[in-house]
Structure 1
């Protein structure tokens, strides 16, 4: 490796990977998935040297094991069970699950194939590695880090002087961070200044390693993969009912704990068909990740009210491409009607003098079958089979028009 090791702990993953991982272990351990990397930037090229460094970093990541201290920390998370921790005591990443090449227009292809238990855990560390390798090897990193520190200080000052009042927010930037040291600095500084903010509080981070190190809450429930695989990974299921299968399995695992549901995997309108009184009562709130957040917030409040549920008892967690200005506007709009919280990623973890990468790694197959996300923002779906996207879209549309 030319660079220092980027991922140094298996806890260096988003919390929702462990939340979903426990459910996968207990209910879907036989499922197999394929994950595919995509760089959405059209002007980005990964050199052969970068690709070799990415391979070396992923090999190093695959050599890691959980320590007993890390496992004890996980077991003390309220909803994590000892049986899953015992599994993690034996678990290790497998480099053999990775296929890394140079065939794409951007110069980098990555696929992971294997058990859902394994491949789900690879997404976030892989993206963090790709991102940090690119920014360290493509730019003057010291210049970027200096601009990052300057912009972070400005963000903190605007929370201190009340320019922005966010209420509770968490840092969600591991997958696209400038570097490990940049993300840690951001979490450390944002939390250290909580006492100085007028009406804001950084209450946690999605990065479990940093949550443990800086004694803040590890934040994260479910991602799109959960709804895609539980709903579309069984050919007997109608994929327009994916949310029902996902919510049902989640409640079986957690009851009323760990209950923030993701709404937009196959559109929020279709989600609401299944998010009726039982699930709306059991889940403590919902997360926004695509589409107009203001329209979504109004839709969710109206949904709760129509069910006779007081929206003030529920949380709307916004997490789509947020900066402090947008979060401030959202809170002003909704704070007197519902509990508002934010998960803020790239704007915190990779705000520099250069544009961030727009990279993703998505589930593209489950149990040998195509899977897809049809979000509230057109064009965000990622699937290898356009015919399947058309089929899924028609299933959703039929249900919206006929399922009363």
Structure 2
């Protein structure tokens, strides 16, 4: 129900303000896509790539890995764009960090000087990545990344951004930015239009599946101008630097997956990963990823020591409401006040879901919401559900067994069965 009296006028004014915040960033009708290279900075990626990369440099510099690409969206033909994708990747591999970019990274409190020295010499190498039509001949493409983890970790996010933009600039040559701006204004209105949601903050997590680089920046500027303090920041380091935003991120699945091959034994790999992270950051960047082996296995390993050591945890698969209730109960059972801990939700969020989660948990813990595709690729077209996942480390299969089976990606059935046995994870109903 909408409020009466002056409040209605306030909300109407807020909605008009949201529309005005989007409007200034409009571009001429044509051309609809820039002709320049898509990725023009190695900072155009998610912060957690750098936080993980620093751990790799200090702890696992010799690790060898393999990543593979998958498009989960059915009936998408990417084969006609293989040459274009290769050309963009070739351009990516020409990039180096500028002095300005290195100075920005140096100012982040958790980045160490020797890592900056390493990045000053860093360059991605084409020899580590291969793009080709899939042998199945059904329109799918294979992207394989093989090589030292330290020298391949920065491929994932920009390559996914390249695939997305190449696809959409060929299939949507005149994008409906008017529709995109209207949808964005509606989201800003939902979030900022009611006083009870004033403390609900969102962050941009949408680099990898954005419609285009240009649209991504327009969305960020609109959120910054229209939401003020309700826009917490962005995972994208380049736009954080360019627009004075807070860069956000800690660890991703690949880090804990790699620990399956790098730790002392498989059963202890999750504990090993958390301990190595804490040793590197000494209490900083204290958000643990909870869904590499599912929530039950996470809670078994996330004992009182980790409950008190880490600032919180991030949800990325399964029912978010059930996850939040279980984590709060776990904190209470381990004598930690949930109100001092941060629960981060980042799995396929839209603003209505954000608001429902805020209503459920806002007075029981600290909250953060990372919204991705629904912000940066919502112009009325079906977004691509594409991923690049680590599948091997040091020649050994690695895998994620999350609470959303569709997110699992491993072609070694024997290893998956062994992983389930070790972590006491029952097979999904479809098995």
Question: What residue is the counterpart of 2:243 in the other structure?
Answer: 214
Question: What residue is the counterpart of 1:332 in the other structure?
Answer: 359
Distance 1:36 1:203 in 2: 32
Normalised TM-score (structure 1) = 0.93
Normalised TM-score (structure 2) = 0.88
> Taking structure 1 as reference, are residues 236 and 203 closer, same or farther at Cα in structure 2, changes over 3 Å only?
closer
Deviations 1:71-98 (A, max 9, x none): 0100111111111111000110001111
Distance 2:277 2:301 in 1: 13
| Structure 1 residue 226, shift from structure 2 partner | 0.6
Deviations 1:212-236 (A, max 9, x none): 1110110000000010002x12385
Question: What residue is the counterpart of 1:259 in the other structure?
Answer: 286
Question: What residue is the counterpart of 1:84 in the other structure?
Answer: 115
| Structure 1 residue 121, shift from structure 2 partner | 0.9
Question: What residue is the counterpart of 2:216 in the other structure?
Answer: 183
Question: What residue is the counterpart of 1:233 in the other structure?
Answer: 261
CA contact (8 A) 1:61 1:93 kept: yes
Q: SS in structure 1 opposite 2:258?
A: helix
Distance 2:85 2:66 in 1: 19
Question: What residue is the counterpart of 1:388 in the other structure?
Answer: 415
Question: What residue is the counterpart of 1:284 in the other structure?
Answer: 311
Q: SS in structure 1 opposite 2:175?
A: helix
Alignment of 1:12-27 (within 5 A): 12-27=44-59
Question: What residue is the counterpart of 1:95 in the other structure?
Answer: 126
When the two chains are superposed, the root-mean-square deviation of aligned CA atoms in Å is 1.8
Distance 1:265 1:44 in 2: 28
> Taking structure 1 as reference, are residues 382 and 163 closer, same or farther at Cα in structure 2, changes over 3 Å only?
farther
Question: What residue is the counterpart of 1:167 in the other structure?
Answer: 200
Distance 1:267 1:116 in 2: 25
| Structure 1 residue 154, shift from structure 2 partner | 2.1
Deviates more, 1:378-387 or 1:10-19: 378-387
Question: What residue is the counterpart of 1:41 in the other structure?
Answer: 73
| Structure 1 residue 275, shift from structure 2 partner | 1.1
Deviations 1:89-146 (A, max 9, x none): 0110001111110015333110000011122110000000000000111123x33333
> Taking structure 1 as reference, are residues 163 and 179 closer, same or farther at Cα in structure 2, changes over 3 Å only?
farther
| Structure 1 residue 187, shift from structure 2 partner | 0.8
Distance 2:398 2:216 in 1: 32
CA contact (8 A) 1:255 1:282 kept: no
Question: What residue is the counterpart of 2:26 in the other structure?
Answer: none
Question: What residue is the counterpart of 2:273 in the other structure?
Answer: 246
Distance 2:204 2:239 in 1: 10
Q: SS in structure 2 opposite 1:227?
A: helix
| Structure 1 residue 397, shift from structure 2 partner | 1.0
Distance 1:15 1:332 in 2: 28
The reply on whether 1:368 has 2:368 as its aligned counterpart is no
Distance 1:384 1:84 in 2: 34
> Taking structure 1 as reference, are residues 235 and 298 closer, same or farther at Cα in structure 2, changes over 3 Å only?
closer
Deviations 1:2-25 (A, max 9, x none): 942100100001000001010010
| Structure 1 residue 392, shift from structure 2 partner | 0.6
CA contact (8 A) 1:267 1:376 kept: yes
Distance 1:390 1:3 in 2: 47
The reply on whether 1:54 has 2:101 as its aligned counterpart is no
Question: What residue is the counterpart of 1:66 in the other structure?
Answer: 97
Q: Which runs of 5+ in 1 are unaligned?
A: 400-404
Distance 1:387 1:235 in 2: 20
Within the candidate set 149, 152, 155, 1:119 is matched to 152
Distance 2:196 2:239 in 1: 25
Deviations 1:335-359 (A, max 9, x none): 1110011000000000011110000
Equivalent pairs, count: 391
Q: SS in structure 2 opposite 1:136?
A: helix
Q: SS in structure 2 opposite 1:308?
A: coil
> Taking structure 1 as reference, are residues 110 and 163 closer, same or farther at Cα in structure 2, changes over 3 Å only?
farther
Q: SS in structure 2 opposite 1:218?
A: coil
CA contact (8 A) 2:130 2:144 kept: yes
